[in-house]
Amino acid sequence: MTQEFPHRRLYETYAPRLHALARRLCGNEHDAADMVQDTFLQAHRRWSTFRGRADPGTWLYAIAVRRCRRTVIQPRRRRPTPQFSQLAPFADTTVIDRPARGPAPWERAATAEQVRVMESAIAELPVDFRVALVLKDIIELSVEETARVLGVRPATVKTRVHRARLMLRAALMRVTPQRPAPEPSYPKQVCIDLLHAKLAAMDRGLGAALSQSVVCERCRAVFEELDLTQNVCASLGKAEISRAIRALKDNPGTSKAERASKSRRRGAKG
């Protein structure tokens, strides 16, 4: 006997994060609402093929990503994939300006300008970087969960996410108060190694895992910039979902066209 589709439980657990995923991949609210509706519709129709061997969230996110890649994300002229060395911040002449008192920039709520710049920068990321970054730092999946959704190795996810974070950091710093960068205390290779360690700690949700005693002032400022970038990303995953998506709680297996048809029939009867 086929198990009934648990639409309310899936909706309450996954609809907000599916919407956050759709909004960042599709680029506008209309396409995002359509993508979430289509994801629940496909899940409803294919529930008999889901045997519970995988996490249902992984299954739903994979459906959403495939749908968005196929019908929404517009192909762009392929640009060379930036290398880590091109994105590393060691040539920067300024760093984030941390106030002497009060909460640090990454501890405060993101400003409207920072959110706007971040959304624009995410939309400009190479598609593979964008999808991995949204799943990892906005939906807040683990590296392993992101790899399962995308069908790639965890090492590939880390490469894409690390480079995406560095690209977003550069964009966000353009609208964040800066000060002259202090001189590095270590040879460049040591700073590169510390940056890799910081990015790996962020993957595990350990933003402050590195001992402050081994990090020079310049590297510490760069790490604080990365923390701010990740915090703004996390805030994008908590936006209010639209009325159309809230309606799916009671109508998970009905397409947009079918709901519109029912609405017209009710109007005709009235």
- How high is the pLDDT of residue 78? 61
pLDDT of residue 1 exceeding 50: no
* Residue 208 belongs to some domain of the structure: yes
pLDDT confidence bin for 61, thresholds 50/70/90: very high
Judge if 94 and 214 occupy the same domain: yes
* Residue 79 belongs to some domain of the structure: no
Residues 6+ apart with CB under 8 A from 137: 161, 165, 230, 233, 234
- How high is the pLDDT of residue 59? 86
| Contact by Cβ (8 Å): 132, 24 | no
Averaged pLDDT score across all residues of the chain = 80
Judge if 198 and 264 occupy the same domain: no
Q: Is the pTM of this model over 0.95?
A: no
Mean pLDDT computed over 75-91: 75
pLDDT of residue 105 exceeding 80: no
Judge if 30 and 115 occupy the same domain: no
- How high is the pLDDT of residue 252? 54
Number of structural domains in the chain: 2
pLDDT confidence bin for 28, thresholds 50/70/90: confident
Q: Which range marks the domain in which residue 99 is found?
A: 84-236
- How high is the pLDDT of residue 265? 47
Instruction: Supply the CATH number for residue 221's domain.
Output: 1.10.10.10
Integer Cα distance of 151 and 56 in angstroms: 15
Judge if 131 and 145 occupy the same domain: yes
- How high is the pLDDT of residue 266? 44
Report the 3 state secondary structure along the chain. Answer: CCCCCCHHHHHHHHHHHHHHHHHHHHCCHHHHHHHHHHHHHHHHHCHHHCCCCCCHHHHHHHHHHHHHHHHCCCCCCCCCCCCHHHHCHHHCCEEECCCCCCCCHHHCCCCHHHHHHHHHHHHHCCHHHHHHHHHHHHCCCCHHHHHHHHCCCHHHHHHHHHHHHHHHHHHHHCCCCEEECCCCCCCHHHHHHHHHHHHHHHHCCCCCCCCHHHCCHHHHHHHHHHHHHHHHHHHHCCCCCCHHHHHHHCCCCCCHHHHHHHHHHHHHHC
Judge if 254 and 213 occupy the same domain: no
124-176 per-position pLDDT tens digit: 898 899 999 999 999 999 999 999 999 999 999 999 999 999 999 999 998 98
pLDDT of residue 259 exceeding 60: no
Q: Higher-confidence residue: 1 or 65?
A: 65
The burial class, CB within 10 Å (0-12 / 13-18 / 19+), for 188 is exposed
Cβ neighbours around 226 below 10 Å, total = 24
Q: Higher-confidence residue: 102 or 36?
A: 36
Q: Which residue has the tokens 């299954």?
A: 59
Q: What percent of the chain has pLDDT over 90?
A: 26
The burial class, CB within 10 Å (0-12 / 13-18 / 19+), for 269 is exposed
188-247 per-position pLDDT tens digit: 888 899 899 999 999 988 765 566 667 888 888 899 899 999 999 988 887 666 666 666
* Residue 220 belongs to some domain of the structure: yes
